[in-house]
Copies of this chain bind each other. A is one copy, B any other.
C-alpha cells in the first residue's frame, strides 16, 4: 500500500505538485502573457472543514474489516479528477460521498460485497485509481438505492503469473501503473500502456474505460492488450479463455471492455506484454500551416510504418507544453523496438513529413539504442509536461481558471470542418459566458489509417462562483459540435455520467436495448454503477 498520502480533493500526492509560491508565479505568468486579471488562490480544503452526511448503510459484520467510514476515505472517493470535480472539491462541496468505502482483499471479498449490495439494494461503484474525468466513480445515485459503496480495488495489486513464451501475464485489476511495471521489469517485460493518469490509475480501470495509452498507432487503446478477463458480476464470475485470436462468436472480452463497471468488476486480466524497447528513433517536424501537419500525420498513419508516437501539436499547444516556441505546429514522430534498429523507419517517416511541407532539422532526427532516447528534445519536453499536467491543472483551477480537456475521433476528410467548428463553438461559448480571453488548443493523441483522434484543451479565466456553469456551457457547445459532425463523444475518456447526454444520441437505440438486456442478465438488481453508460432496464 502507499505510504505517501494521496490528496483527497485533487490529483496526486500531498507532497507533490506546485507549491503555493509556484502557484502564485503561475498566476503572474498568466496575467502577463494572456492578460488574465484578478487571479486569486483558493486554498485546498481540509477534511475537517467538510460536513459529510452520515452513512446510510452499515456493512454486515463479515465485511466490517474491509469497510471504512473514515471521512478522508469517503471524501477521497467522492469524485474523480475532472475540472468539475476539482471545482466542487475546492468549494468544499462533498454532498454525495459514498456511504462506505470498501477495500476488498481478494475476489472473495468482491463477491461478498456485491452480494450484500444486491440484497440491500446498495449501489456498488467500482473504483480503481479514481482518475475518471467523466463522473465515472461518483456516488450520486439518487433515491432508488439505500446507499452507495465505493469498491476500491487498490489491494488487488499483484502480478500473479508470467508466461514468458507468450509474453503475457495474469494481473490483478487493482494494480497501479508504476507497481505493474515494477513487477514486470524483472521479467524483462512491459505493458507499455501510459495514459496520462498512469501514476494513479489501475489496470482494471483502464480496461473498464477503454483507456488510451501512449502508442499513437496500432495499440492505441488498452483493448488490444487484453488476452482474457476475469470479471465478478452480481450473478457470479465470468472468466474468458486465453486466446491470441478467435472467431468463436462475438468476443466476450469486447463485451466487458469499456463497460465502465456497469456489467461487473474486473478482478484479473491476462495481458499481452512486450519486450522492453532497446532501439529508438525520433524526429520533430515543424509546419507553418496546420493543414500540412494534418496531411503529414495522415500519410504516416497510412504508411504502414506504425510509429509509436505521431503527435501533432498546434502552435499554441506546442508553446504551452514547451515543445516549441509557438511559431510553428509540431509533429512529434518516434519509433521504438526491442528487435531491430529503426533507421529505415525514421528515414521514411521524415520523408513523409518533408513531402507535406514539414521542416525537419537533421539534428532533430535521432536514433538511439539506450533507455534515455525518449527523454530528449521536443518530445522529451512534451512528455515531461504531459505527465505533470494534472498537477498544473489543479493549480490553475485553484487560481479560478476554467481549464479542461475533451477529445474525440473522426475521419480524415471530416477533420478540417470538425476542427473549425469545434474551435468556433468553444470560442463563442467562452466569450458568451465571460470566460475570456480564453484559448483552445488542439493536438492529435492517436492516429488511425482512417482518421485522427484530436484532443482539445480549453483555458480561460473563470468568474468566481460561476466556473461550473461557464464550463457546462463551453462543454455543451463543444460536444454538440462533435456530435453534429459525426465524431465520437469520447475517444478514450469514457462516457461516465458526464457524457451520457451525447452518448445516448451517438449509440444506436437498438444497441442500447441490447446492452440493457445484457446488463439485466448479469446485474438483475441494477446495482452496478448506476448513472454511468446505460441505465438498468
Contacts and interface: CB of A to CB of B under 8 A. Distances in A.
A255 B247 contact: no
Nearest to A453: B245
A106 interface: no
Given A255-B255, A510-B238, A493 B247 contact: yes
A516 B303 CA distance: 41
Interface of A: 163-168, 209-212, 218, 220-221, 227, 233, 235-252, 254-260, 263, 272, 274-275, 298, 302-306, 337-340, 343-345, 348, 409-413, 446, 448-453, 486-495, 499, 503, 506-508, 510-511, 513-518, 520-522, 533-534
Contacts of A218: 218
19 contacts: A163-B413, A167-B302, A167-B449, A218-B218, A235-B510, A240-B508, A247-B258, A247-B494, A248-B499, A249-B495, A250-B254, A250-B255, A252-B507, A255-B255, A274-B449, A303-B339, A304-B337, A340-B348, A517-B517
Given A244-B450, A247-B494, A453-B245, A239 B508 contact: yes
A231 to B, nearest CB: 9
Given A245-B453, A247-B212, A272-B450, A413 B510 contact: no
Contact of A247 (B345, B491, B507, B511): B491
A305 B518 contact: no
A450 B166 contact: yes
A490 B247 contact: yes
Nearest to A523: B514
Contacts of A257: 250
B486 A242 contact: yes
A270 to B, nearest CB: 9
Contact of A241 (B249, B488, B510): B488
A488 B251 contact: no
B302 A275 contact: yes
A504 to B, nearest CB: 10
B453 A303 contact: no
Contact of A449 (B210, B272, B345, B448): B272
